[in-house]
Amino acid sequence: MLAQEFMRNALVAGSFVGIACGLVGWFVVLRAQVFAGDALSHVAFTGALAAAALGIDIRAGLFLATILGGVVMGALGDRARADDVVIGTLFAWTLGLGVLFLTIFTTNGSGSNGTAGVRVLFGSIFGLSSTDVRISVVLAVAAVAVLAVLGRPLLFASLDGAVAAAQGVPVRMIGLVFLGLVGLVAAQATQAVGALLLLGLLAAPAGAAHRLTGRPSLGLGLSALFALVSVWLGLSLSYVFPTLPPSTMIISTAAGIYVAAMSLSPLRRLVG
């Protein structure tokens, strides 16, 4: 399995994407911002298709759109926690724009008609080039670094925003930066599992970790571990059974872990 270059690329990129998603996802779930992550994943779709329609590099559109989307959502919402109606209306429109770009792209574009949309929606982890891999490694490391710096105040602000603000923590600013970070990770995960499925990597491992433990350090570790296991197991399954698409297998594994954690959650009292 490891002899194939596309498989090595997929594993390396997938691992880094998984770790970043697991760590950022833990905070997303803690802050009850899964819906914002959902919206950002759709922004990713529109951004990528806009880039495709304009004929520029898809990655540029992807990252620009999601990071911008995160910041806009943070700015519009109350106390940098966008409320779900604002998110909902904003991204319903974003999807409409995405459809427009898809139409422009498929009517003007040549060659790869139609498949670009599907690739963006459902990912193409087996089609990553070594440049893609390098980019995703660098971005994952950057995201984790930002999170490491931001970690303590972010945790404080997430658990008790009012007290944190009273203590002089810039709660609003942190919320904005965090949503931008979620956007970055979403764009990166779009390349691996696709815009529609990245929510699974963001929400399921983190949700499972939250069900098992309330301790932040342990939870973060578990979340990253679960995401990593999902990627590895999903990729292996898809390699062994080529008819099964890799992104589906990754998400199914993550969902399986979540269900397992749910049935184990009485254990939580023992772990702490």
Site string for other proteins, 151-190 (x = CB under 8 A): ----------------------------------------
- Least Cβ distance, residue 131 to other proteins (angstroms): 26
Angle (nearest 5°) at CA 14 between 10 and 19: 160
Applying CB under 8 A, does 248 fall inside the site for other proteins? Answer: yes
Pair 42, 263: CB distance under 8 Å:
no
The correct pick among 211, 212, 222, 235 for binding other proteins (CB under 8 A) is 211
Site string for other proteins, 98-117 (x = CB under 8 A): xxx-xx--xx------xx-x
Check binding of 60 to other proteins (CB under 8 A).
Answer: no
Name every residue whose Cβ is closer than 8 Å to that of residue 179 and which is 6 or more positions away in sequence. Answer: 33, 36, 40, 70, 71, 73, 74, 80, 82
- Residues 80 to 99 in contact with other proteins, rule: CB under 8 A: 84-85, 87-93, 95-99
Q: Which neighbouring-strand residues pair with 81?
A: 78
Please report, in angstroms and rounded to a whole number, the separation of the first and last CA atoms in the chain: 39
Token pair 């023992």 is at which residue? Answer: 270
In the chain, the amino acid numbered 245 is: P
| Interface contacts to other proteins, rule CB under 8 A | 29-35, 37-38, 42, 84-85, 87-93, 95-100, 102-103, 106-107, 114-115, 117-118, 121-122, 194, 196-204, 206-207, 210-211, 243-245, 247-248, 250-252, 254-255, 258, 262
